[in-house]
Structure 1
Amino acid sequence: MAFLGGYTVSLIASVLEYAKAHELGLSLNSTGLQCIRYVVTGTAAAICHSSVSFISAKATGRSDSWVNHALGGAASGLICTWNRSMTIRATTCIGFAIISALGKYSVEFRLQHPDWHVPVVGEYNPSPYVSLNQRWMYKGARQQEEELEKHV
C-alpha cells in the first residue's frame, strides 16, 4: 500500500510539473529529469516506509501497532527531504509519522467497529495481494481468504 501511494503521489507531481513546463514553454528536458527525480524519490520513500514498518513489526512482535507505521512514516519523511535543511526534515518526519499512525488507527478502528459508517473510497479491508507483506501485517487476511474460498 505504501509503495502504491508513494508512486501515485510522485507520478501526480510529475504530471503537474510537466504540464506547467509545457504551458509556460520551459525546457522539457530539464523538466523531464525533475519528473524522474520525483518518481524515484517517491518510490524510494514508499519502499523505505514499507521496509521500516515491516522490520519494526518483526522487532517488536506486534504487527498491528500504530508505532510501526509511525516509524515507517518518519523514515519516508527523511527520504523525501534528503536535500533540505534539518528543520524541514524534522517537520516532514513528524508530519509523515502522524499521517501514517492516523492511517493505521483508522484501519484498526474500522475493523473494530464494522457498523460505524465512514465514507470510504474503495475497499474497507485492503486486498491481500496489494503488497508482499500484506498477509503478515494484517492478521485476519488469511482467515478472510479461507472464508472466501469456502464460499467460492
Structure 2
Amino acid sequence: MPIITLIIAIVFNLADHYQLEGRWKLHEAEAFLNILTSENFRLGTEVQQREISDTFDFALENTYYTFKGDSVFFTDTGARETINYKNGKWLLQNDTLMIFESGKFHVHKFLIESLNRDELIMRIVFPTGEVSLSNMKFVKVE
C-alpha cells in the first residue's frame, strides 16, 4: 500500500473518530417501522398493537450511545420498560464500529452507512457476519 493511501486512510478514520464523539439518541429504527406496517401487526388485537407500539416508543426514547475518548456508555432497553446501563470500549475500523462491552466476551459490531456531525446511520452486524437489512438512525444530542 503506498504511503499516501495509508496517510489518507488514517486521516479519514481520525475524522470519523472525532465525529462519533458525543451523545447519540436513537431516532428511527427501520425494523420497528417494518413490524408496525406488517400484516401480522395489523392482524393483532388493539391491546397487542398498543403494547408493541409502546415498547418501540420506549426504546426510541431511552436508547443512547455516548462516545468519550475510547470509552462508550450506552443503554439497552428491555421488557417491561427496563433500562440497562452498560459501558465498554469502542474501536472504529474503516466503516465498522466495534463495541467491547465490559464483562462480556461478545463484541457488538455495526456497519456505519453514514456519519456526520449531526447524524449516525448504522446496521447491526450479526455474529455470523451477516448485516441487518434494517438500519438505525441516531441524532447527536450533545
> What is the TM-score of this pair, normalised by structure 1?
0.38
> What is the TM-score of this pair, normalised by structure 2?
0.40
Greater RCO (Cα-Cα under 8 Å, separation 6 or more): 2
Give the number of the structure whose residues are more often helix, by fraction: 1
